[in-house]
Amino acid sequence: MRLDRILALTLITLCLVAALGNLLGGPPSSWEDADGANATMGDANVALLNIYGTISDAEATGLFSSAEGANANQLIKSIQDAREDQQIKAILLRINSPGGTAAASEAVYEELMRTRKETDIKIIASLGDVAASGGYYIASAAHHIVANPATVTGSIGVILRSQNVSGLLNKVGVQTSTFQSGPYKDILSPFRESKPKEREILQGIVDDSYDQFLKAIVAGRSITLSQLKPLAEGQIFTGAQAKAVNLVDSLGNYTDALQKTAEIAKIKGKPQVRDFGKANPFGDWDLFSTARVQQWLPDFAKAQSMGWQNIPLTLME
């Protein structure tokens, strides 16, 4: 059998195994107290939610996976589960995300705000390497935000991109034909330049989403719209800079955030933490996770990332 056929068969097999894992489950859930020791289900009073990677409404990850991005529906379900648990006094968000789609980020934010309005549960956000754009959108629903001094955060804004490859196609002699039901159905077509009316429509969508973003931050934090707008032009901040302009409340790492959680939620003794992520009966064994396949086959990761080109409106930059 030729080498290229062997490689193709290997790739197909690995993809099928990863897909099988995606169908059967999600990332492992862990149990720990303030010192990392195991805690029992009955003792848990802090719900931990990990928001890692790109925030989207994409399909949740699987049985053998260690988590591929932050799935909005799964996060909302975890927030609801924590809200219904009578022993939970606080939700601790661990955010390490560059952002994601506007709708997914807003959906998670709204569920957190519903928790604030309907319960006495306190919400604290702990920002990791990056908590920008949609990541900060979600964090703004917290009662208190803790950032590492070197965290990259902010990037408050909305971006919509389109490409015009008509010049390249003309150069190689490729022509395209479009049949559509209305004048704006191909509004983001990469095969021609955008028309003035189309640009007006698209800018209106961006402006409306941006306005929703600003209102969400104002509603979640002690900051006025006039104070926020100069900080919301897409610029990024370190955690220390963000604290100076009231985008975060205090500086520290996860341990500091956990201590602040106990303080705000008035938890006596060591807070008992339960990871409300989706359970994985195979624990940390992720030999056939999508992430592992990506390590083995870089082109597999590139193929997956191409799907994001079909999402026009994001909060990632």
What's the pTM? 0.74
Please give the Cα distance from 20 to 101 (Å, whole number). Answer: 26
Of the pLDDT bands very low, low, confident and very high (cuts 50, 70, 90), residue 11 is low
pLDDT at 2 > cutoff 90:
no
Residue type, 52: Y
Most confident of 27-36, 85-94, 306-315: 85-94
Give 174-232 pLDDT, tens digit per residue. Answer: 888 888 899 888 888 888 888 999 999 999 999 999 999 999 999 999 899 999 999 99
159 vs 38, 69, 234, 246, 316, CA distance in Å? 43, 20, 9, 24, 8
Domain range spanning residue 284? 3-157+224-314
Number of structural domains found in the chain: 1
Confidence of residue 295 (pLDDT cuts 50, 70, 90): very low
Bridge partners for 52 per DSSP:
96
Q: Report pLDDT for 66.
A: 40
**Domain assignment of residue 301, yes or no:** yes
d(CA 144, CA 256) in angstroms, rounded, equals: 12
**The tokens of 47 are what?**
């719900």
- Write down the mean pLDDT value for the chain: 80
User: Is pLDDT of 46 > 80?
Assistant: yes
More confidently predicted of 172 and 140: 140
pLDDT digits (tens, 9 = 90+) for 237-293: 999 999 999 999 999 999 999 999 999 999 988 899 999 875 444 444 444 444 444
pLDDT at 4: 63
**Which pLDDT score is estimated for 27?**
40
Closest CA to 62 of 254, 282, 265: 282
Give pLDDT tens digits for 96-107: 999 999 999 999
> Each residue of 130-142: pLDDT tens digit?
999 999 999 999 9
- In this structure, what CATH number is given to the domain that contains residue 22? 3.90.226.10
- CB under 8 Å, gap of 24 or more: what pairs does 184-192 form? 188/162, 188/312, 189/162, 190/162, 190/163, 190/164, 190/165, 190/166, 191/164, 191/165, 191/166, 192/164, 192/166
Closest CA to 39 of 269, 314, 307: 269
| 167 belongs to a structural domain | no
What lies within 8 Å, CB to CB, of 303 at 6+ separation is: none
- Beta strands per DSSP E along 192-278: 236-238, 250-251, 272-275
In a domain, 102, yes or no: yes
For residue 191, being part of any structural domain is answered with no
pLDDT of res. 307: 45
Taken in order 124, 83, 53, 306, the sign of the CA dihedral is: negative
**Distance (Å) of CA 99 to CA 62, 91, 115, 301:** 22, 20, 22, 19
Using the 8-state DSSP alphabet, how is residue 87 labeled?
Answer: T
* Residue 130 belongs to some domain of the structure: yes
The pLDDT of residue 156: 95
Task: Report if residue 85 sits inside a domain.
Answer: yes
Per-residue confidence (pLDDT) for residue 16, from 0 to 100: 64
Continuous H helices in 39-180: 72-84, 102-118, 134-139, 166-172
Q: Which residues are catalytic?
A: 133, 185
H/E element, 160: strand 159-160
Q: Is residue 306 part of a domain?
A: yes
Q: Which residue type does 178 have? A: T
198 within domain boundaries = no
Can you give the pLDDT at residue 162?
84
Higher pLDDT, 185 or 114: 114
